[in-house]
Structure 1
């Protein structure tokens, strides 16, 4: 089920580094170097595969841009916010 604007606004207030860009939940992560960014992407890939929910993303050197949307539902769902939370946890563990 697609999240309502009210639900999305609550999520964004609690997770202010995430934004809505082109109707997708979006965030850019910056790391110290390419190896750290690639390690992050590897961990996110493993988590995404386990959830059977995969991000749209791009990587340039130490930056990873992630966009989340549930294509089968045609919008942002709870699955996207659950994956976003896991991605934030992975990012924190990589950067520490």
Structure 2
């Protein structure tokens, strides 16, 4: 995962989505993420709404910095994060870069 943490998202206009083998290989590098209807997804659990919002706000800052924005479902004690890359019509390396960065946030907000 450290390799993914050190990478930055790149514009992928006109690129192609990852193949299933590459997706499986990358899923092995990010704990708890799974394939869900053409995207990667993970539920992050927290003790309360304050922690959940702290995570959401920090992830929003990272997403804006990387110019790669997830779909978020926010609840009192959890947030479901979902990444896919619309410009390639599927999953890309950018999704895994941001997934690794989302995982790294948890230590700071929980």
- TM-score, normalised on structure 1? 0.93
Partner of 1:69: 84
1:7-86 aligned within 5 A: 7-86=22-101
Matches of 2:30 and 2:102 in 1, distance apart?
12
Secondary structure at the aligned position of 2:59 is classed as helix
Give CA deviations for 1:37-73 in whole Å, capped at 9, x if unaligned. Answer: 0000000000000111100011110110011001111
Maintained 8 Å contact 2:34/2:42: yes
Q: Which stretches of structure 1, 4 residues or longer, exceed 4 Å deviation after superposition? A: none
What is the TM-score of this pair, normalised by structure 2? Answer: 0.82
Aligned CA RMSD, in angstroms, stands at 1.0
- Unaligned runs of 5+ residues in structure 1 are none
Q: Which runs of 5+ in 2 are unaligned?
A: 1-15
Of structures 1 and 2, the one with the larger relative CO (CA 8 A, separation 6+) is 2
